[in-house]
């Protein structure tokens, strides 16, 4: 735990070089968990530069953990703190389960959003309609699923991320890796899909770190034991000209950082140690939720 806290502090320090950083304790907001990407507000910005928040329901990643009543209040509290309008939804949705290209496409996985432990009464068409209504999108890319050790039922932020409107970075593993099959299915799906305008996507492969496992003690959520954790270079954060990439003390770190630098030459690519953070089953993207810079703010 101490090592993970040190890595979190280092992440906050580096992020603070490029962003104005605020934690929920600093805002006086109580939470059940640290993964604000999933339960925090989802910010949207319109063509006039006005910002609003969306407050989706959070049920502890499909009811895997005990009540998350504090987490569910966070979007409204942050919206109130920022004096922003906030739209509340009845649909269950975590921020880490979606990624957008900013031009009308949202990307997600079938394993998560179509899971019966999220919105069993909603059809795929109803889910798509709600996403479009909230995010201003008009096209959904559905990938098959997520990686081993991910207790979120396959969040997209570990398996495929937009870095511009037509470019997606996605991990690909060696055949002997436990995630090989699902990552290949995702890769193939990305090759067959199109964006909101019917154009093919540009796919760039990221390496995959060697499997990292942790021997968890038994607790109220399970018997514990040795478990693979969801280590992925795709769990990066883009921050005002900087790209903060989780690294895991492995030989694949350098090759991953090189790919990011080649793909985004105008960004300052920084590796942030996350091998202990990921024992908590999340990483840099999971720990953060960005607020866009407005050009004007409306509370109407």
The catalytic site residues sit at 286
Q: Which residues of 202-241 are buried (b: 16+ CB within 10 A; e: fewer)?
A: ebeebbbbeebebebeeeeeeeeeebebbbbbbbbbbbee
């Amino acid at each position: 735990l101490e090592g993970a806290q040190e890595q979190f502090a280092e992440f906050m320090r580096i992020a603070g070089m490029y962003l104005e950083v605020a934690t929920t304790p600093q805002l006086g907001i109580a939470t059940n968990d640290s993964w604000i990407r999933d339960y925090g507000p989802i910010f949207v910005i319109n063509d006039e530069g006005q910002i609003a928040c969306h407050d989706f329901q959070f049920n502890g990643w499909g009811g895997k953990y005990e009540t998350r009543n504090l987490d569910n209040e966070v979007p409204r509290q942050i919206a109130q703190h920022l004096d922003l309008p906030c739209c509340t939804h009845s649909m269950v949705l975590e921020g880490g389960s979606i990624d957008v290209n900013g031009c009308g496409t949202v990307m997600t996985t079938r394993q998560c959003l179509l899971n019966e432990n999220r919105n069993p009464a909603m059809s795929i068409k109803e889910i798509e309609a709600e996403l479009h209504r909230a995010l201003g999108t008009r096209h959904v890319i559905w990938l098959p699923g997520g990686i081993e050790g991910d207790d979120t039922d396959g969040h997209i932020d570990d398996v495929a991320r937009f870095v511009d409107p037509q470019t997606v970075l996605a991990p690909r593993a060696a055949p002997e890796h436990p995630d090989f099959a699902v990552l290949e299915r995702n890769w193939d799906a990305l090759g067959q899909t199109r964006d909101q305008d019917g154009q093919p996507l540009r796919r760039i492969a990221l390496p995959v770190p060697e499997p990292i496992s942790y021997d968890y003690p038994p607790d109220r959520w399970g018997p514990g034991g040795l478990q693979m954790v969801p280590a992925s270079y795709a769990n990066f954060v883009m921050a005002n000209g900087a790209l903060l990439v989780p690294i895991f003390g492995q030989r694949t770190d350098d090759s991953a950082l090189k790919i990011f630098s080649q793909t985004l030459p105008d960004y300052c690519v920084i590796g942030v140690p996350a091998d202990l953070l990921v024992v908590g089953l999340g990483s840099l993207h999971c720990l953060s939720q960005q607020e866009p810079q407005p050009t004007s703010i409306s509370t109407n």
